[in-house]
Structure 1
Amino acid sequence: MRNNHILKQVGDTLRDLRKQKHLSQEELGERAGFHFSYIGKMERGEVNITLVNLERISTALGVGLHQFFPFSYSEEKLTEKEKYINAIAANLRSHELAKVKTAKNIIEELLK
C-alpha cells in the first residue's frame, strides 16, 4: 500500500538523520518530548506521524522539514543538472561534517 510506503521512507530518513547526529532513540525522544518507543515506531513506519510531531522531531534534530522527503524528488521531473546536484547532496549527507566542509571547499575552488 502506498501510504505504508511513505511512512517507511520517512521513518528510514528519520533513522538516518538521528544516526548522523549520533543520537540514540532515547536522546532524540528526550529532546523532542516523545517516549523512545514512539521514536522507534516512527522509524519503522508503524505510526502515521503528524506534521506537528514531525516538526518537533526536525527541531530536535536541528534539520529542516524538507530533509524528511528526499525521495519526493525522484517523483518530480528534474533536469539533468538537478539530478546531479541531488546525487551530490545525497552522497554528502552520509559523511561527517569535516568531509562535507572539505567537499564544499573543493567545489568552490572548481567553480572559480
Structure 2
Amino acid sequence: MNKIVSHNIRTIREMKNLTRDFVAGELEMTYSGYGKIERGEIDITISKISRLADIFGISISDLLFFDVSYFFNNDAEEKIDDQLRIGSNSDIKTLRISRSRLMDFQDKKLKNRV
C-alpha cells in the first residue's frame, strides 16, 4: 500500500505542477525527506497524508485511491459542462490538462512500467 500511495503522491504533485521543494516546504520537511516519501522509502503518517491532501486541494480518499483516468475522462467532462450550463448547484471540480501534457504523462507512465 505504501508504494501505491507514494506513487499517487508523486503523480498528483506532477499533475498539479508543483515542485518537490515547494511540497517539502509546505510539509516543513527537507527536500530529501520528502523525496523518501515519494519513493516509498519511509512510512507516511496520517497527518502527513492529510496535509498533502490539503496542499493538493483534494480529499484524502482521492489521494489514497487516485485514478488518473477519472481526471481525463472526456465524456465525464462534457457531462459536467452540460450540468453547469443547466444551472446545477453541484460543486464539481475538474482538473483540465492539455492533450499534449496528457500524452507526455501517459508516455512517461508506460516507460516506468517497463
TM over 0.5: yes
Per-residue CA deviation, residues 21-76 of structure 1 (Å, 9 max, x unaligned), is 101110111122221212211111100001011111111221111112217xxxxx
Go from structure 1 to structure 2 and tell me whether the alpha carbon gap of 1:90 and 1:107 turns closer, same or farther (over 3 Å shift): farther
Is 1:69–2:64 an aligned residue pair? yes
Which residues of structure 2 form unaligned runs of 5+?
86-114
Go from structure 1 to structure 2 and tell me whether the alpha carbon gap of 1:35 and 1:9 turns closer, same or farther (over 3 Å shift): same
Is 1:19–2:20 an aligned residue pair? no
Distance 1:62 1:15 in 2: 14
Give the helix-richer structure, 1 or 2: 1
Go from structure 1 to structure 2 and tell me whether the alpha carbon gap of 1:108 and 1:13 turns closer, same or farther (over 3 Å shift): same
**Secondary structure in 2 matching 1:33:** coil
**Secondary structure in 1 matching 2:44:** coil
Distance 1:32 1:62 in 2: 14
Go from structure 1 to structure 2 and tell me whether the alpha carbon gap of 1:42 and 1:105 turns closer, same or farther (over 3 Å shift): same
1:51-90 aligned at under 5 Å gives the runs: 51-70=46-65, 90=68
Moved over 4 A (4+): 100-103, 106-109
Distance 1:94 1:38 in 2: 31
Aligned with 2:71 (options 65, 72, 93): 93
Distance 2:48 2:54 in 1: 10
Give the match for residue 31 of structure 2.
36
Per-residue CA deviation, residues 57-107 of structure 1 (Å, 9 max, x unaligned), is 111221111112217xxxxxxxxxxxxxxxxx6424258xxxx75562257
Matched residues, percent identical?
A: 22
State the aligned residue count: 84
RMSD (Å), alpha carbons: 2.9
Is 1:105–2:81 an aligned residue pair? yes
